[in-house]
A and B are shown apart, each in its own frame.
Chain A
Amino acid sequence: MLFKIVTKEGFRSLVDQLLASNEVIGPRRVGVRRNGKPEHQFLPIERFEDMDLDYEKTAFSAKTYFLPFRETLSRTRFKNGDWQQEISYRVQPRALVGLHACDINALLKLDKVMLRGPFPSPYYLSRRKNTFVVGIDHDPCETGFCASLGEDTVTHGFDLFLTDLGDRYFVSIDSDRGFRVLHSVPVRDITEDDRRAYQEVRRRIASGFKVHLRFENLPTLLDIEFESPVWKKWGDKCLSCGACAMVCPTCYCYGVYERICQDFKECTKVKQLYSCNLIDFAVVAGGHNFRPTRHTRLKYRYYHQHRGFVEAYDEPKCVGCNRCGDACLAGINPPDVIRDLQAEEAS
């Protein structure tokens, strides 16, 4: 990894230059949360000031810029009793500024699902490669447990990654594109002082986590506790609304449906993100539902996150941002559910 130093003024100029000819997405303050803290979302910015790089956590992840809620997979035009299918992967390049380490790690997990499997997705690849990712370090958020999962630091998957050293940014560069863009403003090499200051910030961040969880035993525990009353306890609270999957930076499941234009001359095949907690997620032809109850669906979500994904990719699907816990209207908080399971094991 290459490291450079850019002044804050220099970075501001960099964003301005990006804004001059590209769409730029950043963390914007959009309102106030239930707990009185500001609410942020990743949204297009027009000026550098639109961003609040000091944000704690966005309510939604930046997933929507890689896996949009709705995406047209193909377009079919009808003509003379026949049809022609058209497919476009085209997206405009854009910069996504201000992602925290956990959100970049989430992209790395999505990369594995979308690009490394037997059927790599050209739709995802197009969005991923056309997005210039600038990450930034931050002090631990209130509810996150990314450190327990080792997702609080990130080593790749971005173009530039910033660490705030007060009057300047310590910049990690992970791509030649990042190198080129960064050098459109004055940068200098790091000094011993910068290195020490950087390490100091890393230590401060690492010691600031409030939520600690054990994950190493979870895959086997989930298998053994499949019939545990814990699932019913938490499942009975679940509203089956699917909010957890919507805000999750790694949930990628979806449904496909078709829309017909009002003039009946064309239709589109649309992919729409879904949630395994929605009641009809596992319904098959004829109406049979393989997971008809709330607790079987909630359990399935934990299974996929912490067992199935581990089997497939040797790591949990979860990055520990706890957006799902923050968003849940029923108060289902993953650390509580996981601790309950571990208590069940101990009893």
Chain B
Amino acid sequence: MSVVLHPYDVRTEPEIQEPLDFNRRGELKHVDKVFKAEITNIVTLTEIDKLFHLRITDPAERERFSFKPGQFVMLELPGFGEVPISISSSPLWKGHIELCIRRAGLVTGVLHKAKRGAKVGIRGPFGTAFPLSVMKGHDVLLIAGGLGLAPLRAPIFHVNDNRADYGDVHILYGTKTPQDLLFTYQYDQWRTVYDVSLSVIVERADEGWTGPVGMITDLLGDIRVHPEHTYAIVCGPPVMFKFVCARLSQTGIPMQRMYVSLERRMHCGMGKCCRCNVGSTYTCLDGPVFDYWSVMNLKEAI
């Protein structure tokens, strides 16, 4: 005599048979299935930074893909690995996304050798976004240090896509040297078309540099901030946004109206692998975008 345990097949669940959309939170789905995407173009930004234009190859998947500025994707190079990268393009472009990637390790090192036409995998979007709808009707400070301009580029696009919704917009950007500046070819467009004020500062000038020299906080003295109707987004290394947010506090902007993006090395993006935990918070679920008050309350966040 025998008792047979009947097999259970996850694929018979109705939820998992729906088209894959990572925005359908809480529903069973193929969490490790990637969207295949083609690298349609590669723009060299600096010696170590490149901008990758990707297009999700399946038209239906491409149309369904949507994200909010501040969110990130897991980028997979089959055979090499998967890395979290914040999206650097306009949400209006759907499955045409741009990722600004620094050569920093195994996966990004291989990616920097990739050519146009190569196929990569994308999962996502994951994480929280900058609350751009809440910011409507306000002045906006967009402040970036170094590679921080990469995640800041998505809200910059969004502000331009909805320019009438926002008041005065200031972009403040600082790097170590003029060679480190990203997206230099877009500055004129941002100033002229987007009608934003853009100030750029470097810590160490070279012969050709005619702009200001110093720390990013120096730029804050040059602009008029109306703390009662201003929101700030600050992206960059922790040491930078600590100083910038302290300086912004002095102008009277509440910490809950300053937003930062935390960097961690996620392995899943879905609140499971724990690699991005800060104290008790998953950066991939509750972040990467946090208001500064929340960051102050997180142990070991910065």
Contact between chains at B28 and A87 (CB < 8 Å): no
Pick from A17, A114, A257, A308: contact of B277, CB under 8 Å: A308
Q: A281-300 CB contact bits vs B (8 Å, 1 = yes)?
A: 11111100011000010001
Contact between chains at B280 and A284 (CB < 8 Å): no
Residue in A closest to B278 when the chains form the complex, CB atoms = A290
Q: B48-86 CB contact bits vs A (8 Å, 1 = yes)?
A: 000000000000000000000000000010111111000
Contact between chains at B265 and A283 (CB < 8 Å): yes
A339 at the B interface (CB under 8 A)? no
A49 at the B interface (CB under 8 A)? no
**B244 CB to nearest chain A CB (Å):** 19
B105 at the A interface (CB under 8 A)? yes
Pick from B76, B102, B264: contact of A290, CB under 8 Å: B264
Contact between chains at A83 and B78 (CB < 8 Å): yes
Contact between chains at B79 and A267 (CB < 8 Å): yes
Residue in A closest to B84 when the chains form the complex, CB atoms = A285
B207: chain A residues at CB < 8 Å are: none
Complex Cα spacing A282 to B164, Å:
42
Contact between chains at B3 and A269 (CB < 8 Å): no
Residue in A closest to B80 when the chains form the complex, CB atoms = A258
Pick from B28, B105, B268: contact of A120, CB under 8 Å: B28
Contact between chains at B277 and A304 (CB < 8 Å): yes
Contact between chains at A22 and B33 (CB < 8 Å): no
If A85-B78, A93-B5 touch, does A119 touch B270 (CB 8 Å cutoff)?
yes
B217 at the A interface (CB under 8 A)? no
Of A90, A94, A226, A256, the most chain B CB neighbours within 10 A belong to A256
Contact between chains at B7 and A93 (CB < 8 Å): yes
Q: How large is the interface on B (under 10, 10 to 19, 20 to 34, 35 or more residues)?
A: 35 or more
Contact between chains at A122 and B1 (CB < 8 Å): no
Complex Cα spacing A284 to B237, Å:
12
Q: B18-33 CB contact bits vs A (8 Å, 1 = yes)?
A: 0000100111111111
A95 at the B interface (CB under 8 A)? yes
Residue in A closest to B301 when the chains form the complex, CB atoms = A290
B92 at the A interface (CB under 8 A)? no
Complex Cα spacing A8 to B83, Å:
54
B296 at the A interface (CB under 8 A)? no
B176 at the A interface (CB under 8 A)? no
B139 at the A interface (CB under 8 A)? no
Residue in B closest to A275 when the chains form the complex, CB atoms = B274
Among residues 256 to 289 in chain B, which have CB atoms less than 8 Å away from a CB atom of chain A? 263-265, 267-268, 270-275, 277-281, 285
A260 at the B interface (CB under 8 A)? yes
Pick from B7, B105, B119, B275: contact of A92, CB under 8 Å: B7
Complex Cα spacing A17 to B3, Å:
5
If A122-B10, A255-B275 touch, does A184 touch B1 (CB 8 Å cutoff)?
yes
B16 at the A interface (CB under 8 A)? yes
Contact between chains at A89 and B32 (CB < 8 Å): no
B11 at the A interface (CB under 8 A)? yes
Residue in B closest to A285 when the chains form the complex, CB atoms = B104
Of B2, B264, B274, the most chain A CB neighbours within 10 A belong to B274
Q: A27-69 CB contact bits vs B (8 Å, 1 = yes)?
A: 0000000000000000000000000000000000000000000
A179 at the B interface (CB under 8 A)? no
Among residues 87 to 139 in chain A, which have CB atoms less than 8 Å away from a CB atom of chain B? 87, 89-90, 92-95, 113-114, 117-123, 125-126, 129-130, 132
B185 at the A interface (CB under 8 A)? no
Of B5, B34, B271, the most chain A CB neighbours within 10 A belong to B5
A85: chain B residues at CB < 8 Å are: 33-34, 36, 78, 121
If A120-B26, A282-B275 touch, does A87 touch B33 (CB 8 Å cutoff)?
yes
Among residues 221 to 262 in chain A, which have CB atoms less than 8 Å away from a CB atom of chain B? 223, 226, 252-258, 260
Among residues 151 to 172 in chain B, which have CB atoms less than 8 Å away from a CB atom of chain A? none
Pick from A121, A132, A258, A300: contact of B5, CB under 8 Å: A132
B206: chain A residues at CB < 8 Å are: none
A78 at the B interface (CB under 8 A)? yes
A309 at the B interface (CB under 8 A)? yes
Pick from B7, B76, B102: contact of A285, CB under 8 Å: B102
Contact between chains at A252 and B78 (CB < 8 Å): no
Complex Cα spacing A344 to B105, Å:
43
Q: A1-31 CB contact bits vs B (8 Å, 1 = yes)?
A: 0000000000000100110111000000000
Among residues 31 to 50 in chain B, which have CB atoms less than 8 Å away from a CB atom of chain A? 31-34, 36
**A71 CB to nearest chain B CB (Å):** 10
**B17 CB to nearest chain A CB (Å):** 12
Complex Cα spacing A223 to B300, Å:
12
Residue in B closest to A180 when the chains form the complex, CB atoms = B3
A123: chain B residues at CB < 8 Å are: 32
Pick from B5, B25, B76, B105: contact of A269, CB under 8 Å: B76
Residue in A closest to B11 when the chains form the complex, CB atoms = A89
Contact between chains at A74 and B33 (CB < 8 Å): yes
A216 at the B interface (CB under 8 A)? no
B199: chain A residues at CB < 8 Å are: none
B113 at the A interface (CB under 8 A)? no
Contact between chains at A83 and B119 (CB < 8 Å): yes
If A83-B119, A184-B1, A226-B299 touch, does A284 touch B263 (CB 8 Å cutoff)?
yes
Contact between chains at A290 and B267 (CB < 8 Å): no
Known: A93-B8, A118-B271, A282-B264. 11 other contacts (CB 8 A): A18-B3, A113-B272, A122-B29, A123-B32, A226-B299, A254-B273, A256-B267, A260-B79, A267-B78, A274-B273, A285-B104
**Could you write out 20 A-B pairs with CB less than 8 Å apart?**
A22-B4, A22-B5, A74-B34, A76-B79, A78-B79, A83-B78, A90-B9, A93-B5, A93-B6, A113-B272, A117-B285, A126-B8, A132-B5, A256-B273, A282-B264, A283-B265, A286-B104, A290-B278, A308-B279, A312-B280
